Homo-oligomer: A and B are copies of this chain.
Amino acid sequence: PKRYSITLLPGDGIGPEVISVAKNVLKLAGSVEGIDFIFQEMPMGGAALDLTGVPLPEETLSAAQKADAVLLGAIGGYKWDKNEKHLKPETGLLQLREGLKVFANLRPATVLPQLVDSSTLKKEVAEGVDLMVVRELTGGIYFGKPRGFGTNEKGEEIGFNTEVYATYEIDRIARVAFEIARKRRGQLCSVDKANVLEASMLWRKRITAIAADYPDVELSHMYVDNAAMQLVRYPKQFDTIVTNNIFGDILSDEASMITGSIGMLPSASLGESGPGLFEPIHGSAPDIAGQDKANPLATILSAAMLLKYGLGEVNAANRIENAVLDTLNKGFRTGDIYSAGNKLVGCKEMGEAVLKSV
């Protein structure tokens, strides 16, 4: 059988619970499709801080770099919120993205017919939403230099960051986005603030240049403030969105909330080569950690993305996606997506239900 090594990073809060469930689903789907996994669990985020004093230990990063793919639960919690920057769980996540060079973050936001009522948007606005945000993940203001604190001419304290993009960074994320749009409905909307920012002007110029290689994809441009509005007004207008790191952070979260079921949404972060990083969109939810209440479906669907985008194992990926739909059709619901007439279950029971359908 084929054999892949997977680094599991359970992290904090509900992370360990959802990872443990997703691991079992991955194992079973693999064994049915003739795939073996070797799993290695490593500490990351707050858990790593408590254990080793840093949010991303070297051993964790190098294990992840050597793996075929990385599956992350969630990181962060009140306990480490006041930490200095280099000792924040979030800093560990940024270091992991940088260390794995995963510059392309794919965040699908889909409204499943079974869950359309979970959205705060009217049914006719929410139903049928099926979009993908492609977010640049290792550049822009998150990593740009110079950054830090200083004083201005008047001697006052200042805090500053640099939003910067180079052509190669824009070109490579553009290609990922055009390829994805091509496999979807053939529409790509690039979001920027080119009426104000030079970094966005270069972004728009390069996206437009790369478009020449994808004549079958229809490219449009939208300002970020308008995009934030249009996602609320008429989200169905979007197929694939490509945008920079910070705008992608904001818009992908907005898009995910429009579906009303954040506990359902997976993500994939990919580089040129090397292992991809797969994780649910949701956070570590410390308030419900350890109570068997978390929705494991986002992590299970992240495992499906791992199979599809990370390992090219499309059959095993489809098997998991179908099992999730099947489980929802049978009426299983965790608290976050519960509605009357369905069966309320915990994290483990949801996992067992999915296993039965794999």
Contacting residues, chain B, for A59 (C-beta < 8 A): none
Within 8 A of B (CB), among A174-204: 193, 195-203
Q: Can you name the residue of chain B whose Cβ is closest to the Cβ of A234?
A: B120
Would A163 and B163 be within 8 Å (CB), given that A224-B249, A246-B193 are in contact? Answer: yes
Is A88's CB within 8 Å of the partner chain B?
A: yes
Contact A229–B254 (Cβ < 8 Å): yes
Take A120-B232, A198-B149, A254-B228 as given contacts and tell me if A164 and B160 are in contact as well, using a CB distance cutoff of 8 Å.
yes
By the criterion CB–CB under 8 Å, are A159 and B164 in contact? yes
**Cα of A225 to Cα of B161 in the assembled complex, Å:** 18
Q: Does A253 belong to the interface (CB within 8 Å)? A: yes
A163: chain B residues within 8 A (beta carbon):
141, 160-163
Contact B149 A157 (CB under 8 A): no
- In the complex, A36→B161 CA distance in Å? 48
Does A94 belong to the interface (CB within 8 Å)? Answer: yes
Q: Which residue, of A159, A164, A253, has the highest number of chain B Cβ atoms within 10 A? A: A159
Q: How far is the CA of A159 from the CA of B231 in the complex (A)?
A: 27
Q: Which one of B88, B156, B253 contacts A229 once the chains associate, using CB atoms below 8 Å?
A: B253
* A168 located at the interface, meaning its Cβ lies under 8 Å from any Cβ of chain B in the complex: yes
For the residues of A in contact with B, the DSSP-based class is helix
Copies in the complex: 2
A161 touches which one: B147, B148, B198, B230 (CB < 8 A)? B198
Nearest B residue to A283 by beta-carbon distance? B226
Do residues A166 and B158 form an inter-chain contact, with CB atoms below 8 A?
yes
Partner of A256, one of B160, B229, B262: B229
Query: Is A291 positioned at the interface, with any CB of B under 8 Å from its CB?
Result: no
Is the beta-carbon distance between A167 and B157 smaller than 8 angstroms?
yes
Q: How far, in angstroms, from A159 to B169 measured CA to CA in the complex?
A: 11
- Is the CB of A273 closer than 8 A to any CB of chain B? no
B228 to A253, Cβ gap below 8 A? yes
User: Do B257 and A233 have beta carbons less than 8 Å apart?
Assistant: yes
Chain A 114-140, CB-CB to B under 8 Å as 1, else 0, gives: 000000111001000000000000000
Which B residues lie within 8 Å of A166 (CB)? Answer: 152, 154, 156-158
Assembled-state Cα–Cα distance A254/B254 (Å): 9
Q: Are the CB atoms of B201 and A85 closer together than 8 Å? A: yes
User: A159 and B226 in contact (CB under 8 A), knowing A125-B120, A257-B233?
Assistant: no
Kindly state whether residue A335 has any CB partner on chain B within 8 Å.
Answer: no
Inter-subunit contact B202/A149 (CB<8 Å): yes
Cβ A156 vs Cβ B168 within 8 A: yes
Do the beta carbons of A195 and B165 come within 8 Å of each other?
A: no
- With most chain B CB atoms within 10 A of its CB, the pick from A152, A168, A202, A232 is A232
Beyond A120-B232, A229-B254, 14 extra complex contacts between A and B, CB < 8 Å? A88-B195, A90-B195, A141-B163, A149-B202, A156-B167, A159-B201, A160-B162, A160-B163, A161-B198, A224-B249, A225-B252, A228-B254, A229-B256, A232-B257
Binding site for B on A (CB under 8 A): 85, 88, 90, 94, 120-122, 125, 141-142, 144, 147-149, 152, 154, 156-168, 193, 195-203, 224-226, 228-234, 246-247, 249-254, 256-258, 262
For the complex of A and B, 3 pairs with smallest distance between CB atoms: A159-B202, A229-B257, A160-B164
